[in-house]
Structure 1
Amino acid sequence: MSETPSGDSGKGELDASDSNPAVVPSDDEDLSAPAELPSSGLSRRGLFIGAGAAAAVVAGGGLGAWLTLRRTPGSGAVNRALKIGHGGGICEAPLYAALHQGIFEKHGLNVEIIKTAGGEIKDAVGAGKLDAAPGIFFSWLKPIEQGIDAKLAAGLHEGCLRIVVPPDSPIKNVSELRGQPVGVGAIGDSAMSFFSLDLLDAGLNPTKDVNWRVFDADQLPDALARGEIVAIAASDPVALLPTLKGKARELTNNSQGINKQHYCCATAISGKLLRDDPDVARSLVTAWAEGSRWVGANTSAAAKIQVDNKYVAAELPTVDAILKTYGYNPSASRLKAEITPGIAKFAKTGYLDAKTDPEALANKVYVDLGLKW
């Protein structure tokens, strides 16, 4: 397990023994949803307020005070302590932003983030050792089908999964990966799971026609350079860094093609927290989504948080450039709409039980916390 960076009391290490301008709401708007901030045009709700409304916000104590009034029901000032796992990815920016910008605290949450190895994080959430973690829903389907006690509640952002190949590679599309070694961080991880859908569309059997090779994430670019693998399937920054350095080119990503998904990252919540305190779970997901919107409106500041706290091993301009490629429009309802059809197609890859009922598994995977956004 990698060391957790020092410098913030909200960070820790998993111990296996431990059990912008405001938006004025309309009369019929759900006040349990967080305020949506403008994020470089990515927000799909109206973002304009009149001069009089703006003056009212300022007179009432400013944006921070107004946002505080929009806490979720049951959040209050409970100061509930929560442990959230993370892997140190650039795409985890909403989590880091919510912590360092005081968004979790504003929602009555005392959050500690804990660096956790990719192969351990799902088990830790399922066992209640972690209260939550970010992750793509495809990589959570099999564990949940097999009994992991966790559910997905909302999507956070899109755009962080990629397949890259050497700049001079003759490979032009995923169909040419048949029989080839493709590097991943773990069998069944987010990138392997998602791009199996593209392989399926290209007429390949993802479990038989591709030679998946596992490397530590930071070793994947070197393995590509040495010719041990012909491609990397990974999340950022692993897949994008060699591309930015001119040592790879992008073959595809999860924002392209027929299998485009709105969310590469979602909120996975432990079943224990959902049963014990659903109001706290609702507050957690709402604050996390607010962190995503903040990143969308403040990518440079979000990049600085990641670099200054050594969450990612990349330079500030690189992290900033990567964050600007994502789409930040977090949604609970949109994720819910994508899960059933996503499961139906993912079942064809062979990673799920052949008798999987997409609707039944969707009900097992997704938790409706009553969030209207």
Structure 2
Amino acid sequence: MKGFIKLISAIALFSIFISLFSGCGATNTGGTQDNGKTGTSAVEYKYGKIDIPGKDGSLCGAPIYIAYEKGFFKEQGFDVNLISADTETRKIGLNNGTIPIVNGDFQFFPSIENNVKVKVVDGLHYGCIKLIVPKDSPIQGVQDLKGKKISVDEIGGTPHQVASVWLEKNGISAKQEDGEVTFLPFSDGNLAVEA
């Protein structure tokens, strides 16, 4: 129940952020209703139509998708269109205003440092980065990872950054050149699990 309350709070903060910073002012009286699904009755949206990345299927995007499915955006006056967008598309969209908000993490920090016009507003959720091993694996803790290969979605992405910090805090170098661990990028999580 505590996690559910945190999720609802995060979604509420997300909705408030959109209300304050979206700059959308059009009213849509087209044939969309109930979370952007096609229908026959016209619905008015106080803030008009906006695109939000939320169709990538990741756990990190779950709060956005839940808010969409539950009609929270509609209740706040937004006709939300969920889109798919990779990290670079999200950065560009935030910078030029075509995407009003994204759920992001470490990969946005270098852009912020390079004066891309984005800012961190609040945390949306936590806990989706996990280390998994096969059931019969002898790996029981961080020290067992020395000399092993670790799959990540991309070098420099959040799982890579989080794993690197964790390894370094436990006395294992995360630098490829030190050879204590090897990071292998898999853009498809299913391939990583299979490997």
Please tell me the TM-score bracket, short chain as reference.
Answer: 0.5 to 0.7
Please give the alpha-carbon distance, in whole angstroms, between the structure 1 residues aligned to 2:154 and 2:124. Answer: 22
Deviations 1:152-191 (A, max 9, x none): 2121222211011222222222233233221111111121
Percent identity between the two aligned chains: 28
1:214 maps onto 2:185 in alignment:
yes
Write the letter of the residue equivalent to 1:221.
Answer: V
Unmatched tracts of structure 1, length 5 or more: 1-39, 45-66, 224-373
1:111 maps onto 2:80 in alignment:
yes
1:127 CA displacement: 4.0
1:91 maps onto 2:60 in alignment:
yes
Write the letter of the residue equivalent to 2:185.
Answer: V
Between Structure 1 and Structure 2, how many residues are aligned? 159
3-state SS in 1 of match to 2:65: helix
Q: CA RMSD in A?
A: 3.0
Residue 221 and residue 84 in structure 1: after superposition, are their counterparts in 2 closer, same or farther (change >3 A)?
same
Please give the alpha-carbon distance, in whole angstroms, between the structure 2 residues aligned to 1:130 and 1:166. Answer: 39
Match of 2:111 in 1: 143
Q: What is the TM-score with the length of structure 1 in the denominator? A: 0.38
Residue of 179, 184, 188 corresponding to 2:147 = 179
3-state SS in 2 of match to 1:139: helix
Please give the alpha-carbon distance, in whole angstroms, between the structure 2 residues aligned to 1:41 and 1:210. Answer: 36
Write the letter of the residue equivalent to 1:161.
Answer: I
Greater relative CO (CA pairs within 8 A, separation 6+): 1
Q: What is the TM-score with the length of structure 2 in the denominator? A: 0.67
Instruction: Assess if the C-alpha contact under 8 Å between 1:118 and 1:186 holds in 2.
Output: no
Write the letter of the residue equivalent to 1:122.
Answer: K
1:148 CA displacement: 3.2
1:106 CA displacement: 1.7
Unmatched tracts of structure 2, length 5 or more: 7-11, 26-44
Please give the alpha-carbon distance, in whole angstroms, between the structure 2 residues aligned to 1:214 and 1:204. Answer: 19
1:118 CA displacement: 4.5
Residue 133 and residue 71 in structure 1: after superposition, are their counterparts in 2 closer, same or farther (change >3 A)?
closer
Instruction: Assess if the C-alpha contact under 8 Å between 2:60 and 2:103 holds in 1.
Output: no
1:102 maps onto 2:63 in alignment:
no
- Give runs of aligned pairs for residues 1-373 of structure 1, distance below 5 A: 40-42=1-3, 43=5, 78-86=46-54, 87-118=56-87, 120-135=89-104, 137-208=105-176, 209-217=180-188, 218-223=190-195
Please give the alpha-carbon distance, in whole angstroms, between the structure 1 residues aligned to 2:116 and 2:174. Answer: 24
